[in-house]
Amino acid sequence: MGKQVLLIKGSPRKNGNTSVMADAFGNGAKESGNTVTEVFLKEKNIGDCIGCAVCQRNGGNCVQKDDMTEIYESMKEADVIVLASPVYFYSWTSLMKRMIDRTFAVEALLENKKFYLLSAGAAPEEKYMQTMINGFREYVSCFEEGGSKEGGILFAYDTREPGDVKGMQVLEKAYEMGKAI
Ligand SMILES: Cc1cc2nc3c(=O)[nH]c(=O)nc-3n(C[C@H](O)[C@H](O)[C@H](O)COP(=O)(O)O)c2cc1C
């Protein structure tokens, strides 16, 4: 039986570099018999976590009824969760961070996931991505008790305009990463 793969796209640019990377990952995953779905956060209505912590006392139900409701379900069903976000000031886009904060509600409910980070930046090398890498690893560590772990991390460097990533070797790596989940 194939795995369920969820691509979460956190760039505001629909055909941006991280979206292209996520698609390459998804194509690889499909190639090896898995099922791929995606969510483009920019088109979703997602409120900020308001820190009420009601979810911590009611079994993980967020009081906000917005598009996170369906995303929670997709995340629970997924075996593989791919966070595809460009680097904005050394970290996630606010779109991705907002989604991440809302997963406070389902921290105990997301079990046995493999998380991947696909990211792109204008910077030329990994040393500029350390905050992003640490943020991702620390996020994944919040789900460790439930058996979740890091699957992999991939960066595209020197990317600015949408499409800059096309023709870069990192796309083949993303494809292979997806194929090998
Ligand atoms: C607000 C903003 C902040 C950015 N900050 C960084 C940064 O800190 N480091 C970096 O390498 N690139 C930075 N960039 C460049 C983007 O990460 C780069 O253009 C990337 O390819 C965008 O991915 P996308 O095409 O998927 O949207 C920034 C871009 C914007 C718009």
Per residue of the chain (181 residues), give pLDDT as tens. Answer: 799 999 999 999 999 999 999 999 999 999 999 999 999 999 999 999 999 999 999 999 999 999 999 999 999 999 999 999 999 999 999 999 999 999 999 999 999 999 999 999 999 999 999 999 999 999 999 999 999 999 999 999 999 999 999 999 999 999 999 999 9
CA distance 26 to 4: 11
Residue 119, helix vs strand vs coil: strand
Q: Residue 116: which H helix or E strand, with range?
A: strand 114-120
Distances (CA, A) of 69 to 19, 66, 93, 113, 136: 23, 6, 21, 18, 23
The 10s digit of each residue's pLDDT in 125-146 is 999 999 999 999 999 999 999 9
Closest alpha carbon to 140 in 175, 107, 118, 109:
107
Whose alpha carbon is nearest atom 10 of ligand 1?
121
Whose alpha carbon is nearest atom 28 of ligand 1?
88
Whose alpha carbon is nearest atom 29 of ligand 1?
88
Contact 156, 170 (CB under 8 A): yes
Closest alpha carbon to 179 in 59, 30, 55, 57:
30
- Please give the number of the atom of ligand 1 that sits closest to the Cα of 89: 8
Contact 74, 68 (CB under 8 A): no
Contact 4, 180 (CB under 8 A): no
Which residues does a 6 A CB cutoff place in the pocket of ligand 1? 11, 13, 16-19, 86-90, 120-123, 128, 159-160, 162
- Give the distance (Å) from ligand 1 centre to CA of residue 62: 31
